[in-house]
Amino acid sequence: MKTWLITGCSTGLGRSLAKAALQKGDNVVVTARDTKKLEEFEKDFPQTALTVRLDVTDLCSVAEAVKAAKERFGGIDVLVNNAGYGYRAAVEEGDPEDARRLFDTNFWGPVNLIKAVLPDMRAKKSGAVINISSIAALRTAPGSGYYAASKCALEGMTEGLYLETAPLGIKVMIVEPGAFRTDFAGRSLTQSKTAIGDYGETAGTRRIENDKTHGTQPGDPDKGAGLIIEAIEAEDTPLRLLLGRDAVKVAGAVLDNRKNEYDKWREFSSRSDF
């Protein structure tokens, strides 16, 4: 039996992950900023579910959540950094304070949790960290530059973490979902207050009032949760796990295009050496 700590469990993939882990018999520290949305977990799984209020941007809140996990279950075996949200804005439209808040949640939040759980994982030479990224880290759509940047930062940090902790017996996995039918493109999506007319045909088409994708996304969060659990428990856990046919298609196209561009400019790029 493992103990999971999962952030952002009020909706979407985090909620599905918490349910899936509990249904397989594991302990789960189910977290969100509003614990009223988590009441069903302790009702349905009174012995193995612990609901805890957690704001990933607050170091005191992080410490309290990790402490509660230790007191109830003895420690944390799997950390899932799922909490996050989207932000739409052309780069010129983006508000610096909005961008800082975005990075505080999508990047620094996971860093806060990772640093809180690693000492115990290092001591027992086992554990796993799962960071939920996005296919946006591979291909950035207009209007998603800031959001994609937060996920690129998360992936870069996670790849370093993977290399640092693999010799210590700690698994690390990046999950790159495509479009999943969650609240991500609905309640959780934010955008800049500024809208510049010249970006109407690019970033403007993806502003909340113009985006009709919510509720039509192909990804099933319950299926995605099951695949994440299966992958982290596999002997050959991948560093990066794509989720969804759309993610697989996008990743293939991005890699092909990058290789073609690198190859085209290979000789030119090599001319900078002594």
Q: For residue 180, which of 35, 40, 34, 16 has the smallest C-alpha distance?
A: 16
Could you tell me the pLDDT band of residue 183, with boundaries at 50, 70 and 90? Answer: low
Amino acid 127 reads G
- Whether 217 has a pLDDT exceeding 80, the answer reads no
Separation CA 190–CA 54 (nearest Å): 21
Class of the 3-247 domain? alpha beta
Is pLDDT at 236 greater than 70 in this prediction? Answer: yes
Q: How confident is the model at residue 219 (pLDDT cuts 50, 70, 90)?
A: confident
Report the amino acid identity of residue 156. Answer: G
Q: Which of 8-17, 214-223, 228-237 has the lowest mean pLDDT?
A: 214-223
- What's residue 185's pLDDT? 52
| Angstrom distances, CA of residue 6 to CA of 1, 78, 84, 139, 264 | 16, 8, 12, 26, 44
Mean pLDDT of the chain: 94
Q: So where are the chain's domains?
A: 3-247
213 pLDDT higher than 70:
no
The pTM is what? 0.94
119-123, 221-225, 229-233: lowest mean pLDDT where?
221-225
Q: Which two tokens stand for residue 128?
A: 């796993």
| Region 68-78 average pLDDT | 97
Q: Which residues are catalytic?
A: 133, 147, 151
Contact between 87 and 194 (Cβ < 8 Å): no
Of 116, 132, 129, 112, the closest CA to residue 165 belongs to 129
Residue 208 binned pLDDT confidence (cut-offs 50, 70, 90): confident
Which residue has tokens 């230790």?
70
pLDDT at 229: 98
Cβ 113 vs Cβ 81: under 8 Å? yes
Average pLDDT of span 200-217: 82
Weakest mean pLDDT among 54-58, 178-182, 233-237, 266-270? 178-182
Predicted confidence (pLDDT) at residue 29 exceeds the cutoff of 90: yes
Name residue 223's amino acid.
K
Residue 186's pLDDT is what?
53
Give the residue-averaged pLDDT of 149-165. 98
